[in-house]
Amino acid sequence: MLSEHETQIEGGVAVSGIDKAKNAAEAAKGKAKEGAGKALDNEQMRAEGKFDQAKGNVKQAGEKLKDAVR
């Protein structure tokens, strides 16, 4: 039986909730970067922050889709 953090075993390797946590952390990092860019009036940093947020959110959505299919 899998622990609460392990969601599936693929190719002998447990895929865990760690992936979800990494994706959420990436989105949070992007939010912080966007805020820093706004505070520093740095448009490039703001854009990178928004991109990082979107990337993390898309990965999260993919994890949720995988969970729904299981």
Question: Running along the chain, 70 residues long, what does each successive block of 10 average in pLDDT?
Answer: 51 64 93 97 97 94 83
CA-nearest of 1, 12, 16 to 67 is 16
> Residue 7 and residue 33: Cα distance in Å, rounded?
31
pLDDT at 59: 92
CB 37, CB 25: distance < 8 Å: no
The CB density around residue 27, as the number of other CB atoms within 10 Å, is 19
- Phi and psi torsions of 8, nearest 5°: -165, 160
pLDDT at 52: 96
Q: Residue 53 is which amino acid?
A: Q
pLDDT at 14: 46
pLDDT at 13: 44
